[in-house]
């Protein structure tokens, strides 16, 4: 009986070891919290729901999925786990701009909730005249207006539903490249 008990203990230990996630021993709660907040803010990871084991498993797999997405974006080895290299990238200063689009096609949240949309130019490209840009954008929006119930109107100040921007000049892109921001988005 004692031999069977020991075998059972070993079997349980192996099952627990096999089903536990690959989390490096040197990653503490503080780093884990930092990673969760980072992924929520910049990779649209949903809040954790720990009402049941099933939802916890979902949040763990979602975290692994978002870690993989982040690792791929930064050219890191894609493991889906929080390792030292991934954590190092997360701790680097940034301006709080998400690396991925803020929509999820699985929920249908990418649809406009209204039919009358505004658009605004933040700047123009130096490759075309303003008239050419206005005409091109106007024709593109007309294509959508002709086949959908959407209607578009231009505004000249404030926040529009569609903010149109073109790449910055070389001098401005150099400024932004070397401008250091904290992970909260505020400038240093």
Residue range 61-79: mean pLDDT, rounded: 85
Q: Does position 174 have pLDDT exceeding 70, yes or no? A: no
Number of neighbours of residue 86 by Cβ within 10 angstroms: 24
**pLDDT value of position 13:** 66
Domains 24-91 and 116-178 share a fold: no
Report CA-CA distances (Å) from 115 to 26, 144, 145, 163, 168: 51, 11, 10, 17, 31
Question: Which one-letter DSSP state was computed for residue 118?
Answer: E
pLDDT band per the 50, 70, 90 thresholds, residue 134? very high
CATH number of 24-91: 1.10.101.10
Q: Residue 116's closest CA among 90, 152, 146?
A: 152
- Indicate if the alpha-carbon torsion angle 40, 43, 44, 46 is positive or negative: negative
* pTM reported for the whole predicted model: 0.41
127 marked as binding residue: yes
**pLDDT value of position 125:** 86
Q: Does position 154 have pLDDT exceeding 90, yes or no? A: yes
Q: Which CATH superfamily is domain 116-178 in?
A: Collagenase (Catalytic Domain) (3.40.390.10)
| Domain boundaries, given as residue ranges, for the chain | 24-91, 116-178
Give the DSSP H or E segment for 95.
none
Q: How far apart are CA 54 and CA 47, in angstroms?
A: 15
Region label for 78, one of left (φ > 0), alpha (ψ between -120 and 50) or beta (otherwise) = beta
33 marked as binding residue: no
Residue 90, classed as helix, strand or coil, is helix
């Amino acid at each position: 009986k004692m031999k069977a008990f020991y075998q059972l203990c070993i079997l349980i230990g192996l099952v627990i070891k096999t089903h536990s996630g690959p989390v490096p021993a040197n990653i503490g709660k503080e780093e884990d919290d930092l990673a969760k907040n980072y992924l929520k803010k910049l990779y649209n990871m949903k809040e954790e729901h720990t009402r049941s084991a099933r939802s916890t498993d979902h949040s763990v797999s979602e975290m692994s999925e978002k870690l993989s997405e982040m690792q791929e974006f930064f050219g890191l080895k894609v493991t889906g786990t929080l390792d030292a290299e991934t954590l190092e990238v997360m701790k680097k200063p940034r301006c709080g701009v998400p690396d991925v689009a803020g929509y999820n096609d699985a929920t249908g949240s990418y649809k406009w909730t209204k039919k009358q949309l505004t658009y605004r130019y933040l700047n123009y490209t130096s490759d075309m005249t303003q008239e050419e840009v206005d005409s091109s954008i106007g024709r593109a929006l007309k294509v959508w207006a002709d086949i959908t119930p959407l209607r578009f109107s231009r505004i000249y100040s404030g926040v529009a539903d569609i903010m149109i921007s073109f790449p910055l000049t070389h001098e401005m892109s150099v400024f932004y490249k070397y401008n250091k921001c904290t992970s909260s988005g505020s400038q240093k």
